[in-house]
Chain A
Amino acid sequence: MTAGEVITVTIRRGGEHGAPVPVDFRVPITGDPTVLDLVTAIQRDQAPDLGYRFSCRVGMCGSCAMLVQGRPRWTCRTRVSLVARRGRLDLAPLPGLPVVKDLAVDMAPFFEKWAAAGGGFRPCESGDAVLALVAPESPARRNADAAIECIGCGVCAAACRVAGAEPGYPGPAALNRVWTLVNDVRDADGPRRLAEVAGPGGLFTCHSQGACTACCPKGLDPSRSIAGLKRAAVLAALRGEP
């Protein structure tokens, strides 16, 4: 798609009321727009009641994820020219979450999984205010660093077929978060968090096929984080821990 052409955007519209229906919009291309630019143009010029969500527009907030051509993506940093095929673009809300309206889903169940998996940091009680010294090149610090830049967009969870099929599975984002905490020496729960997520339906439900990693727009590697948790859980079990 180049400037001057007209693209047909199919948006799966619907919400709490009524079954979703695909609706076509014809949008003239100006410049080299992102998918989010197109959705905004549609809302401005053709469908003022179109529901969608965004905030930062620069890949920081994680609120703009949708299914683009059937694949979960952040839309504020996805160029139409890269994903449109034969002058068409197909948009739908993220799967596996309740639709609020049109392209906006309720992210609460996604974040509830983080909470349930123990995604909250709990500081050590150091008594006197001694700061933990964490060497930048220590393996634990590197592991945490590699996984910490998650923006909570939900793309990985939408890409994970296991998360889609098994409601109890914490999903790649929540487990990626747990991996950062297991590697955080300042966290009071540390490795004890493993027992929370290592049981049936937990992290061993992951098949290591890496759909999450392939789709994460931040280039994070939840699949590796989960593999790290698996290894840590196995070592703990061999020590007789959980």
Chain B
Amino acid sequence: MTPVRRHVLLWLGQRLAGLLLAGGLAIHLFQVWSVGGAALVARPGGGVGWPLFYAGVVGLALIHGGLGVHGLWRERRHGLAALSIQRLTGIALVLFVPVHVSVSIACVVCPALAATVFQVAALPLHRGFEAAVVALVVGHGLGGLRVLALEGLLWSRGQKALAWIAAGLTMAAAVAVPAGAW
């Protein structure tokens, strides 16, 4: 494998994982909105379907976030010059996702812990935090889909309109998803 080919294929892997994540996280957010986090964690007799689904989402996040951080590291000489909203939200997600996944797994394994966690989750401050997290992931996801529309479909004109639509949908999701879960 030539260095150029490796470089190109890693980039492709990052973008493909991002695309699949968009589907996975949309399903996840819909679940949170419709049945709520507590029910997700306590899912009675769920079979292997959902665990597999979530394992897949976490795997994709590892690939996408890992390759993203790898790219950022390679380009570290850019410093702050090349930071876009896409990057800042990406970095924030890389910090948030491991915490979120570990806490969720802990809650599944240990119902006593889950009770405490959902007490904290009911605090008003935490609800603001939930809205922020949803804004983060939806904003980054839609911003990413906008990039994928350009790079995959060469759909370039109208990017500005897409950016505004993405911003609007992000606001709406940040309010609706936590509100649905409460």
Contacts and interface: CB of A to CB of B under 8 A. Distances in A.
Interface residues of B, number: 28
A223 B159 CA distance: 11
A161 B87 CA distance: 13
A146 B87 CA distance: 30
A199 B4 contact: yes
A224 B86 contact: no
Nearest to A233: B8
Given A227-B151, A242-B4, A207 B86 contact: yes
Contact of A242 (B8, B12, B82, B160): B8
B5 A240 contact: yes
Most buried by B among A198, A205, A208, A233: A208
Interface residues of A, number: 32
A212 to B, nearest CB: 11
6 contacts: A207-B82, A209-B84, A209-B86, A230-B11, A230-B151, A240-B5
A200 to B, nearest CB: 5
A227 B156 contact: yes
B117 to A, nearest CB: 37
A158 to B, nearest CB: 13
Interface stretch (A37-45, A102-110, A120-128, A162-170): A162-170
B90 to A, nearest CB: 11
Interface of B: 2-5, 7-9, 11-12, 74-75, 77-79, 81-82, 84, 86-87, 147, 150-152, 154, 156-157, 159-160
A161 B9 CA distance: 25
Contacts of B150: 208, 210, 223-224, 227
B82 A208 contact: no
A198 B86 CA distance: 22
Contacts of A198: 4, 7-8
Contacts of B9: 237-238
Contacts of A209: 84, 86, 147
